[in-house]
Amino acid sequence: MKKLSVLFLVLSLVLSVGSLALGQGVLKVATEAGFMPFEYVDAETGALLGFDMDLIREIGNVLGLEVQIDNIAWDGLIPALLNGNYDCLIAGITITDERKEAVDFSEPYFESVLTVVAKTGGGISSLDDLAGKMVAVQINTTGDFTASDLYDAGDVKGVSRFDTVADAMQAVIIGAADAVVIDLPVAEAYLEANPSAPLNHSEPVSDNEFYGIAVNKNNKDLLEKINGALATLKAQGIYDAIYQKWFGGM
């Protein structure tokens, strides 16, 4: 899952931010739009599309706020939130204890799991099959964390880190890596969008994990409002409609 390494040096920013971005009826949101089908850039229009994008816009509707979304570098997401540049982050961010030291998370809005993507017919279908292999990952995702743990234990040859999912997948296609460890919905979306890619994915290879919307720890009021909006969207069937739109065919 996505994402985000939490550096201890940013923790001090939580207390230093005196004003937050929320104001003038606008909810300022940051994402990293390289995680289809959760967030991606439409090649024709340049619009930000995906499950997360639809969800945060509907949250804005419930709260009566205009939603402005910026697509920024992955590693800049949490620092930008702590600096007060944004009100919240939505980017397929897995809720972890480490990340909760820096930011607050909404109630979980999506349940995911990791998978392994490798060349078709290559005989890789589990984490055990990665022994002695080179593993590609999107940097600072839970796929990266899992692969790093395998490397530290001496179970894989190495870990190649890439800024985007597409780059990690390409590394396997050209033979620079043997497999990618990535979120299952993202693997499915990539393979659906690239049917000629000589790749397939395994069954789930991890325990289920949960995505949350990240909010500055100084903004408990917004966190409460987002949780309330999520509950409203679920009660009204809007969440289910968004889910069906993006995952109903998978």
Cβ neighbourhood burial of 201 (10 Å; 0-12, 13-18, 19+): buried
Closest CA to 25 of 83, 84, 65: 65
> What residues does 201 pair with on adjacent strands?
117
CB–CB of 123/243 below 8 Å? no
CA-based angle 136:138:144, to the nearest 5?
A: 75
CB–CB of 167/161 below 8 Å? no
Task: Please write the tens of the pLDDT for every residue from 78-131.
Answer: 999 999 999 999 999 999 998 999 999 999 999 999 999 999 999 999 999 999
The C-alpha atoms of residue 173 and residue 194 are separated, in whole angstroms, by 12
Task: Please write the tens of the pLDDT for every residue from 137-186.
Answer: 988 888 999 999 999 999 999 999 998 899 999 999 999 999 999 999 99
Helix (H) or strand (E) run with residue 16 in it: helix 11-16
Tell whether the model's pLDDT for residue 13 goes beyond 80.
no
Q: Is the peptide bond before 3 cis (omega within 30 degrees of 0)?
A: yes
One-letter amino acid at 70 equals: D
- Averaged over 211-225, what is the pLDDT? 97
